[in-house]
Amino acid sequence: PEPQPVRRIKVVVTGYSSTPWETDGDPYLTAAGTWVKDGIVANNYLAMGTKIRIPEIFGDKIFVVEDRMSWTKGNYHIDIWFPSYWEALNFGAKRTYIEILEG
């Protein structure tokens, strides 16, 4: 069955990539110790492994929190990993709602 949302919160969504100036340590390794890949997001508020959707932008696609970001960005900010710096830059910054999924 499709995971159900348990909470909906308004956030700022931006993009990041595996460039040395955007990351700490190994730019291809997440804070959770996994390799970066499509569907990874960074956030400081949600627990590692939390699944979310960003329906207004990505429909039913499910993202997983596996990375952290600079504390200066705060708790209501989601950073989506992109394969290139230019894709992340072109994504820009968007204010939207995320759905935090059960389990």
Per-residue model confidence as pLDDT tens digits over 78-99: 999 999 999 999 999 999 999 9
Domain covering 5-101 in this structure, CATH number = 2.40.40.10
Compute the distance between CA of residue 84 and CA of residue 90 in angstroms, rounded to an integer. Answer: 10
Span 46-56, pLDDT tens digits: 999 999 999 99
4-36 tens-digit pLDDT: 999 999 999 999 999 888 777 788 999 999 999
Which among 60, 58, 55, 40 is positioned nearest to 97, based on CA atoms? 55
User: So where are the chain's domains?
Assistant: 5-101
Q: Is the dihedral of CA 94, 51, 47, 4 positive or negative?
A: positive
**pTM listed for this prediction:** 0.92
Q: Alpha helix locations (H) across 1-103? A: 55-58, 85-91
